[in-house]
Structure 1
Amino acid sequence: MRAIATLFAILIASASNAQTYNIKDYGAVADGKTINTNAIQKTIDLCASKGGGIVYVPSGQFITGTFSLKNNVNLHLETGAILKGSANIKDYKSYEKPTYGTNYYGIIFTENAENVSITGSGAIDGNDSAFFEFDKAKKIDSISTKYSRQQGNYRKVSTGIGDGPVVPIEPRPRQMVLFAQCKRVTLRDVSLLNATFWTLHFADCDAVLVDGIRLWSNLLVPNADGIDVTSSSNVTITNADIRTGDDAIAIVGYDHHFEIPGFKGIKKDCENIVISNCNLQSASSAIRIGFLDQNDVKNIQISNVNITNSTRGIGLFLRDRGSLENINISNVYVQTKLRTGDWWGNGEPIHISAIRGKEDVKLGKIRNVNFSNIICEGENGLLVYGTSESTIQNLSFKDITFKVVDSKLNDVAGGNIDLRGVLGEKNQIFKHDIPGLYAQYVDGLTIEDFKLEWPDSIPSYFTNAITVKDFKNLSLHQIKGTSSPSNSSLKSVALIDGTGIKTDLDKTELSKENVN
């Protein structure tokens, strides 16, 4: 105990000796109108040149454009301190993007730095009100909805803007806080507010800790992701409150970064990610893993998370050559609902899909994924959507409780699967029966201790408790739940085109078609 106390005293003394640089001492003015970019950057540069320390932002509102952190610098925001993005796009650092012309970074762009941090109880505010038309809704395109149950009426809003998303004013600043190819990055306690695009992005970083932050973007704002982790390693996100229009947390394996000019792609997996003790909300996916990944995404641990008021809960999306593997998700509550407007997702608490989104690549695999102790309430079913060229492998659902909720938006959005981000018009949003859990093209699926509850009345496209098609090596045990009230004559579980079954269900609960 004495040794521990001595070590703690040494750490406190070391922290107290860190040199502190107050941005007001170098020209920053907290009047809510002065552009403080140069004064903030001057303070950071001086701190870094002296070997590092604390760049202190006192209470007050400081307007700024783009600045960069440097090695060994801790940007500390005091209680009441606000770094607010300028309403003038010209105050942000610009870069040229092929075929898209001039683009602009957000408030903080840090590249090739080590031992950098943002701490304190203050806030960074992206000033979204300057870059969106909040009285106009972005419309969903007719090609995507052509094969939906509602076709032209899909997600139609009779008046107003519904659930958005609202229309951006371009150009707008991109990632509000971006760390590219950095090591030992820490964000602790700060608030990240009102982003105009991705809020917090770690691109090809190593050793990242995000702890205790509040990240709130407007739920009507498109592209305003919470935390994006791309091709990074050894990342921990914990004790966070994230509420966003787009994905709350996204983990992907790009080997390119379209928002970082001059970036040269490398073969670097996105791996060793821990997400715990978080509260999440999203008008898209609360947690998104994968998309157009050219590198693998692997070794993901998610636990003790509440997901509420979201369009999708947890989504695994394979569309490219990179695989998604070794993913464990436990002790999670998920509540999802249908929304109007051009948001991806359609009320699924859990969505897993492996389908081509790119030509001329060999698709990767989704494999070794475990869900345990999950409580769901949702307005659409759980979805496992493999394909013949990318069968999902070794997937388990254990101790799952799912309450299906009748939706006031069933007439305009219900009874569909949304796979957008794929090739082919028919594969975007399409009409489909909705079991409690639907799975296809899966090898090694285990469903154990699964409880399903239906509302008293529900549309007729809701069918069995569980439907599994095109499967191998299926294990079903302790399934409690009937078919939907609108299809009470159906068996609880329907199995179609498969081989290899282990189950404790009897013939009264199970229907089989072309199953060995």
Structure 2
Amino acid sequence: MYNVMDYGAKGDGITNDASAIQTAIDQCSKNGGGRVLLPGGHIFNSGSILLKSEVDFHLERGAVLKASDDLADYYPLANEGKIVAHQSGLPSFLNSEYAGRPFHAFITGFHQKNVSVTGFGTIDANEKIFYGTNSGYHIEGTYYPRIPLMLLEDFLHVTIKDVTMINCAFWTVHLVGCNDVLIEGLRILNNLQMANSDGIDPDHCKNVRINNCHIECGDDAIVLKNSGDYRKYGACENITITNCTLISTSAAIKFGTEGEDDFRNILVSNCAISKSNRGISIQIRDNGNVENVVFSNITIETRRFSHEWWGRAEPICLTAIDRKPGVKAGKIKNITFQNISCKGENGIFLSGSSDNYIEEIQFQNVKVVLLKNSKWEIDGYDIRPCQGDGNMKGKISGIYCNYCKDVDFQGLRIEKKESIMDYYKEDVTLLEVTNVNVF
């Protein structure tokens, strides 16, 4: 046991305890491993922390690890000799492109093994220091990319269990090129207005289990990625997501939009999605493919949050669209939806491209209930990011399919509630099928 108080940490919420915490981690790893303890009843103010092999970083119940107010306390992120430069970009709701590598991180590490972050304590990422403009529904950050709460690259055997993470202004748990990951009982509670505050982002990861988590965040709750700067780690594959409760002002579960490699062999089950701007979204804009994915036993409730957030309250949205000229989108193939109950302001939306059909999609025992439950207009569909503004204006449908091949409906039910009819009147349809082969 390596108690950070024995290494000089004050735990008074004022002193920067980073040096004491890091010394405890270094000693623990050097001596062959053990537990680094942040005892309860204290607030540990800290800048960047490096996790190392064979360390269980444990926050006792009542302990708070809080990110420093001073940006100078986050040293530049180095990877194989490369210092990452600051990138300032377009507002997050436009078609800004991100290669996946920030220039700072709060809790980080590279090429380690047998690492865990555990305990019933809290990690506070201190979002307020990153506030930019605020529309009342969407807070833009002061710069982009901002500081993730956790960025672990090339870790083998990672466990994150029972911790509560709050107030992150960017991706909360960003795992890059990691293998054998268990995330269980994690609570992520971010500001629903904060742009880019994703929950869990496995990026080029393999053999990942995400279980029994509760996530509330302004942006995607659980999102699989294959971002450009980490291509060397290959596909995102062999992943299970189960028994999670999710709330998001973007998509609760998403693949993409960063997709430079393949997503395959993924199971999502027994999840409850509520109050989300979009439920399940597979957004392929780069050359990675998606195949062999099953979504089962999921309830989805959607409502539109505001015009800045991507999405029009679609419970399920699959799109394969070229990001820009010269960047060819990959294929979406062999996706199954079983025992899905959808309720909200829009229907299921599937759209490939004239030269890139979405293929082999199965809907088994799927129910869609359309009802109006927000003040925002639902005037069609949203295909951002893409060339142009991405707004497909027009009537909505319970199911919309365009440029799809081999779509199978078994036990599909669509209901239109009076509230939706009052809002759309004759413009609501049950099934809109174009350029589709249904079997």
TM over 0.5: yes
* Alignment CA distance shift 1:172-1:85 (3 Å): farther
Q: Distance in 2 between matches of 1:451 and 1:31?
A: 57
- The corresponding residue for 1:284 is 250
Q: For residue 83 of structure 1, report the CA deviation from its aligned partner.
A: 0.4
> Is contact 2:322–2:328 with CA below 8 Å preserved after alignment?
no
Q: Distance in 1 between matches of 2:297 and 2:217?
A: 22
> Is contact 2:87–2:145 with CA below 8 Å preserved after alignment?
no
Q: Distance in 1 between matches of 2:110 and 2:245?
A: 29
- The corresponding residue for 1:463 is 428
Q: Distance in 2 between matches of 1:28 and 1:359?
A: 54
> Is contact 1:415–1:461 with CA below 8 Å preserved after alignment?
no
- Which range is displaced more, 166-175 or 34-43? 166-175
* Alignment CA distance shift 1:165-1:51 (3 Å): same
Q: Distance in 1 between matches of 2:103 and 2:403?
A: 43
Q: For residue 403 of structure 1, report the CA deviation from its aligned partner.
A: 1.0
Q: Distance in 1 between matches of 2:329 and 2:320?
A: 8
Gaps of 5+ in 2: 78-82, 89-100
Q: Distance in 2 between matches of 1:381 and 1:82?
A: 42
Note the aligned Cα RMSD (angstroms): 1.7
* Alignment CA distance shift 1:173-1:267 (3 Å): closer
Show the 5 A alignment for 1:194-213: 194-213=167-186
- Which range is displaced more, 356-365 or 384-393? 356-365
> Is contact 1:432–1:461 with CA below 8 Å preserved after alignment?
no
Show the 5 A alignment for 1:58-207: 58-59=39-40, 60-95=42-77, 96-98=83-85, 100=87, 104-133=103-132, 136-138=133-135, 161=136, 164-170=137-143, 173-207=146-180
Q: Distance in 1 between matches of 2:192 and 2:305?
A: 11
Q: Does 1:53 align with 2:70?
A: no
Q: Distance in 2 between matches of 1:461 and 1:94?
A: 57
Show the 5 A alignment for 1:198-237: 198-237=171-210
> Is contact 2:303–2:374 with CA below 8 Å preserved after alignment?
no
Q: Distance in 2 between matches of 1:469 and 1:307?
A: 29
* 2:399 aligned residue (425, 437, 461): 437
- The corresponding residue for 1:448 is 410
Q: For residue 341 of structure 1, report the CA deviation from its aligned partner.
A: 4.2
Q: Distance in 2 between matches of 1:314 and 1:266?
A: 27
Q: For residue 132 of structure 1, report the CA deviation from its aligned partner.
A: 1.5
> How many equivalent pairs are there?
418
* Alignment CA distance shift 1:92-1:308 (3 Å): same
State the secondary structure of the residue aligned to 1:34: strand
State the secondary structure of the residue aligned to 2:403: strand
Q: Distance in 2 between matches of 1:47 and 1:250?
A: 33
State the secondary structure of the residue aligned to 1:465: strand
> Is contact 2:105–2:150 with CA below 8 Å preserved after alignment?
yes
Q: Distance in 1 between matches of 2:306 and 2:341?
A: 25
Q: For residue 448 of structure 1, report the CA deviation from its aligned partner.
A: 1.2
TM-score, normalised on structure 1? 0.78
> Is contact 2:76–2:84 with CA below 8 Å preserved after alignment?
no
Q: For residue 104 of structure 1, report the CA deviation from its aligned partner.
A: 4.5
CA deviation map 1:392-422 (0-9, x unaligned): 0100111011110114435xx3112111111
State the secondary structure of the residue aligned to 2:27: helix
* 1:310 aligned residue (249, 267, 276): 276
- The corresponding residue for 2:225 is 252
Q: For residue 255 of structure 1, report the CA deviation from its aligned partner.
A: 4.3
Q: Distance in 2 between matches of 1:372 and 1:171?
A: 38
State the secondary structure of the residue aligned to 1:45: helix
> Is contact 1:255–1:268 with CA below 8 Å preserved after alignment?
no
Q: Distance in 2 between matches of 1:299 and 1:388?
A: 26
> Is contact 1:58–1:77 with CA below 8 Å preserved after alignment?
yes
Q: Kindly provide the amino acid, as one letter, of the partner of residue 416 in structure 1.
A: G
Q: For residue 94 of structure 1, report the CA deviation from its aligned partner.
A: 2.0
State the secondary structure of the residue aligned to 1:383: strand
Q: Kindly provide the amino acid, as one letter, of the partner of residue 434 in structure 2.
A: K
CA deviation map 1:340-371 (0-9, x unaligned): 24111111111011111133244311000000
Q: For residue 242 of structure 1, report the CA deviation from its aligned partner.
A: 0.6
Q: For residue 171 of structure 1, report the CA deviation from its aligned partner.
A: 7.3
Q: For residue 254 of structure 1, report the CA deviation from its aligned partner.
A: 2.5
* Alignment CA distance shift 1:453-1:80 (3 Å): same
Percent of aligned pairs sharing the same letter: 35
Q: Which has the larger radius of gyration?
A: 1
* Alignment CA distance shift 1:64-1:171 (3 Å): farther
Q: Distance in 2 between matches of 1:362 and 1:166?
A: 32
CA deviation map 1:462-508 (0-9, x unaligned): 33211111012x13xxxxxxxxxxxxxxxxxxxxxxxxxxxxxxxxx
Q: Distance in 2 between matches of 1:109 and 1:376?
A: 38
Q: Distance in 1 between matches of 2:191 and 2:307?
A: 15
* Alignment CA distance shift 1:31-1:292 (3 Å): closer
Q: For residue 188 of structure 1, report the CA deviation from its aligned partner.
A: 0.6
> Is contact 1:137–1:341 with CA below 8 Å preserved after alignment?
no
> Is contact 1:354–1:366 with CA below 8 Å preserved after alignment?
yes
* Alignment CA distance shift 1:225-1:25 (3 Å): same
Q: Does 1:43 align with 2:24?
A: yes
Q: Kindly provide the amino acid, as one letter, of the partner of residue 432 in structure 2.
A: T
Q: Kindly provide the amino acid, as one letter, of the partner of residue 378 in structure 2.
A: G
State the secondary structure of the residue aligned to 1:290: strand
Q: For residue 167 of structure 1, report the CA deviation from its aligned partner.
A: 3.1
CA deviation map 1:281-309 (0-9, x unaligned): 00000001122311101111000000001
Q: For residue 225 of structure 1, report the CA deviation from its aligned partner.
A: 0.3
* Alignment CA distance shift 1:323-1:221 (3 Å): same
Q: Distance in 1 between matches of 2:106 and 2:304?
A: 33
Q: Kindly provide the amino acid, as one letter, of the partner of residue 4 in structure 2.
A: I
TM-score, normalised on structure 2? 0.92
* Alignment CA distance shift 1:461-1:44 (3 Å): farther
CA deviation map 1:374-396 (0-9, x unaligned): 01111111101111121001001
Q: Kindly provide the amino acid, as one letter, of the partner of residue 415 in structure 1.
A: D
CA deviation map 1:63-111 (0-9, x unaligned): 0010111110000110001100011111112245457279642320111
- The corresponding residue for 2:384 is 420
Q: For residue 430 of structure 1, report the CA deviation from its aligned partner.
A: 2.5
